[in-house]
Amino acid sequence: NAGVTQTPKFQVLKTGQSMTLQCAQDMNHNSMYWYRQDPGMGLRLIYYSASEGTTDKGEVPNGYNVSRLNKREFSLRLESAAPSQTSVYFCAIPLTSGTGLLNYGYTFGSGTRLTVV
Amino acid sequence: GENVEQHPSTLSVQEGDSAVIKCTYSDSASNYFPWYKQELGKRPQLIIDIRSNVGEKKDQRIAVTLNKTAKHFSLHITETQPEDSAVYFCAASQGNNDMRFGAGTRLTVKP
């Protein structure tokens, strides 16, 4: 899927280590989102950014920080990783319909599989 | 906030049969209801969506129905094929920034 690029694809951390997940879009959207996916719990919103320079908490923000320094990039940081943060992380941006209008759906990045041991 | 419940959590059907997945939502202000399909190891992808001003929408073998009064919506897949095997997620929102997802349904289509 053109539009959203996530790095890295896989990461193993030790408890207490820090890391930053990167997300970049080339669709010039104002909004960007970070979700985590856990078995049996669907996708839960961690943080979102409605525009460059703004960020807001989602359902499960504890233990995370985000940064939206420019319109293209939205990063997610784990300052002190915990085993409970083992998950698959997805960045998302709004979908654009064929007419160029936003339709409220999302297109997701390829995901980052994070394991904290 | 919005709460979305999805049933069943697993569903197994024979190839050619129909499959139905149901979701309920709690916030009557929600007006957008997408369905995503996620194949193993892949990202979720939007397959169909419906807005609150429409009761039913169809796209080839998949359809979605919405009952606003009862606050539930369903995904219907007819003539299932092995490539329909995946995890399906429903979601509900009032706009872009408040999307809430169901827990997912793992659909297995047996050849």
Q: Do B97 and A103 touch (CB under 8 A)?
A: no
> If we measure between CA atoms, which residue out of B74, B91, B65, B3 comes closest to residue A106?
B91
Choose among A44, A50, A105: nearest Cβ to B34.
A105
Confidence (pLDDT) at A98: 54
Confidence (pLDDT) at A100: 55
β-sheet bridge partners, residue A89: A36, A112
Distance CA B88, CA B38 (A): 6
Confidence (pLDDT) at A99: 56
Higher per-residue pLDDT: B9 or B54: B9
The DSSP string of A31-71 is: -EEEEEEETTTEEEEEEEESSTT--EE-S--TT-EEE--SS
Q: Do A42 and B45 touch (CB under 8 A)?
A: no
pLDDT (tens digit, 9 = 90+) per residue, B79-105?
999 999 999 999 999 876 788 999 999
β-sheet bridge partners, residue B63: B58, B76
Strands (E), chain B: 4-7, 10-14, 19-25, 32-38, 45-51, 56-59, 62-67, 72-77, 86-92, 100-101, 105-110
Residues of A in contact with B97 (CB under 8 A): 31, 33, 48, 50, 56
What residues in chain A have their Cβ under 8 A from chain B's Cβ atoms? 1, 31, 33, 40-45, 48, 50, 56, 59, 90, 94-95, 102-111
pLDDT (tens digit, 9 = 90+) per residue, B59-77?
999 999 999 999 999 999 9
Distance CA B47, CA A69 (A): 32
Question: Shortest Cα distance from B47 to chain A (angstroms)?
Answer: 10
Q: Does B8 touch chain A (CB under 8 A)?
A: no
User: What is the mean pLDDT for each group of 10 consecutive residues in chain A (117 residues)?
Assistant: 87 97 93 93 93 93 96 96 98 74 80 97
Confidence (pLDDT) at A40: 83
Residues of A in contact with B43 (CB under 8 A): 1, 90, 108-111
